Amino acid sequence: MGQLDRTPTFNMKVVMQETGIKPDTLRAWERRYGLPDPQRTEGGHRLYSEYDIELLRWLTARQEEGMSISRAVKLWTQLQAEGRDPLLSAPIAPVAESPVLAKGPLSGDMVTQAREQWVQACMNFNEAEAQQVLAQAYALFPVELVSQEVLQKGLACIGQGWYEGNVTVQQEHFASELAVRQLEALLASMVSATRHGRILVACPPHEQHTFGALLLTLLLRRRGWEVIYLGANVPLQRMQESLAVIKPHLVIFSAQTLHTASTLLEVAEFLRQEGVTMAYGGAVFNQIPAARQRIPGYFLGENLQDAPRMVERLFTSSEPMPATPPPDLAYQQSLAQFQLQRPNIETAVQTTMLAEMSLELVQSANLELGNNITAALTLGDMYLLNANIAWVQGLLLNYEFRLSDRLLQQFLHTYHTAVQRFLPDTAQPLHNWFAMLLDGRHNR
């Protein structure tokens, strides 16, 4: 890189076009950190140099890597104090070893080790040790990095263990509560917003898993956005009341299951009528990409770290809202018939299967399969269940009572028999899907 011109030449509009940083953010950085330090015209308007613009690009690049703005500024000034040009130096300085993370021999990078130690502490119900690991990790690494690499991936590891039957429900709940409390504590210490635009983040109806929505709220607030977080299971009526008071420019929903994703159709239609932009994300849209084609809103990407950039695009571009076709008449009729007859279907399945399975297990299997069928019919595509059915089967096989593969197949056949008994032939999408499932042809 050649010598950069330090002559104050460019106004704030040019800087915003070159870096994407909003004027409010520029002024906030200047006020809090002294960077950049523009000259002023006689009329008091800021003028920036070519060097100032590259400085700002360097700071935003560090943010893209997961570093907080305060840490990025500290690194910049540290490199300058050492007589090094930050624009020519390695972006990340080495960190000191933590006594907590170095309890045993180092194996792999320290963030991975922190995650493993946090997971183990949660498995042992050792809250003090889990909190100590997090405290040390947050002292060494950016907030975004620890929140995603330790908490988010740690919970994913624990969730997989629960799915496989190796982690108890109590252990999974303990870890989830610790992680949620940690994010809530971080959010409570956040400074006021520096960007223009109000964002509402919530979980759709029936969605109880809040970690993803909380982490997204943290990432967006760390970027300077004003974010109102509503929490779990936000019914449509509460959404109507909240919109009237909050008046958001963007509403974001986080859904983790096909069942809760299907509730977004009604919510999206309401927001469309209110003229409010909707975006969404969550694990189910990574597991079943085809579900994205059924939700009339902006998908924020498979990785949470990409979501802030997508939000930035939504505020700066004029892309039309993605449109989705409504479910065809056959699906609408099948949904109405299934909802009407679902209690009878589940009662018949329960009566038949109680000779082979416990009441709790039959009820759990009925609930899981019934909710997924309702979701697929609502979204207008039974084949959305194809990617999900293996997970549902695995869940039942790995359940605490360990349903055998033979009993699982018996349960599915019994459910199909009840569907044939209580639903007329006009519910063809459901009948056709069951026929393919039980014939082993569901991997379409």
Question: At 181, which CATH number?
Answer: 1.10.1240.10
Q: Residues 140, 198: one domain?
A: no
Q: Are residues 232 and 293 in the same domain?
A: yes
Asked if residue 299 and residue 207 are part of one domain, the reply reads yes
Domain housing 179: 110-187
User: Does residue 324 sit within a domain?
Assistant: no
Higher-pLDDT residue of 441 and 353 is: 353
Kindly indicate the confidence band of residue 98, based on its pLDDT and cuts at 50, 70 and 90: very low
Mean pLDDT of 404-424: 86
In this structure, the answer to whether residues 147 and 262 fall within a common structural domain is no
pLDDT at 223 over 70: yes
- Is there a domain that residue 101 lies in? no
- Are both 167 and 282 inside the same structural domain? no
Q: Answer whether residue 124 shows pLDDT above 90.
A: yes
Q: Which of 268, 289, 301 is nearest to 384 (CA)?
A: 289
The DSSP result for 5-50, as a single string, is P----B-HHHHHHHH---HHHHHHHHHHH--S--EE-TTS-EEB-H
Is 96 within the bounds of a domain?
A: no
pLDDT at 139: 78
Look over the chain and give the mean of its residue pLDDT values, rounded to a whole number: 84
Same-domain status, 204 and 281 = yes
Name which of 292, 131, 132, 283 is nearest 216 in CA terms: 283
For the stretch 243-292, pLDDT in tens is 888 899 999 999 999 999 999 999 998 888 888 899 999 999 998 999 99
* Domains of the chain: total: 4
* Whether residue 405 sits in one domain with residue 293: no
Asked if pLDDT for residue 115 goes beyond 90, the answer is: yes
Please indicate, yes or no, if residue 94 is contained in any of the structural domains. Answer: no
Residues 127 and 181 reside in one and the same domain: yes
Asked if 297 contacts 395 with a C-beta cutoff of 8 angstroms, the reply is no
Beta strands in 238-325 (DSSP E): 250-254, 277-281, 298-299
Task: Specify if 100 maps to a domain.
Answer: no
What is the per-residue pLDDT for 444? 43
Task: Read off the CATH number of the domain in which 71 is found.
Answer: 1.10.1660.10
**353 and 285 co-located in one domain:** no
> pLDDT-derived band of residue 200, with 50, 70 and 90 as boundaries?
very high
Strand ranges in 271-384 using DSSP code E only, listed in sequence order: 277-281, 298-299
Please state which of the ranges 97-106, 152-161, 224-233, 256-265 shows the lowest mean pLDDT.
97-106
Boundary residue ending a domain (187, 221, 245)? 187
Structure tokens at 73: 């500024």
Q: Angle 405-422/428-438 helices, nearest 10 degrees?
A: 160
End-of-domain residue from the set 316, 351, 383: 316
* pTM of the complete model: 0.72
Reduced to 3 states, what is the DSSP secondary structure of residue 253?
A: strand
Indicate whether 290 and 183 sit together in one domain.
no
In a domain, 95, yes or no: no
Picking from 142, 164, 187, the residue at the C-terminal end of a domain is: 187
pLDDT at 402 over 70: no
User: For residue 148, what is the DSSP state?
Assistant: I
Residue 90: pLDDT over 80:
no
* Whether 357 and 430 share a structural domain: yes
Residue 267 within a domain: yes
375 pLDDT band (50/70/90 cuts)? very high
Could you tell me if 286 and 333 lie in one domain?
A: no
Here the CATH number for the domain that contains residue 232 is 3.40.50.280
pLDDT of 106 reads 31
On whether residue 4 sits in a domain, the answer given is no
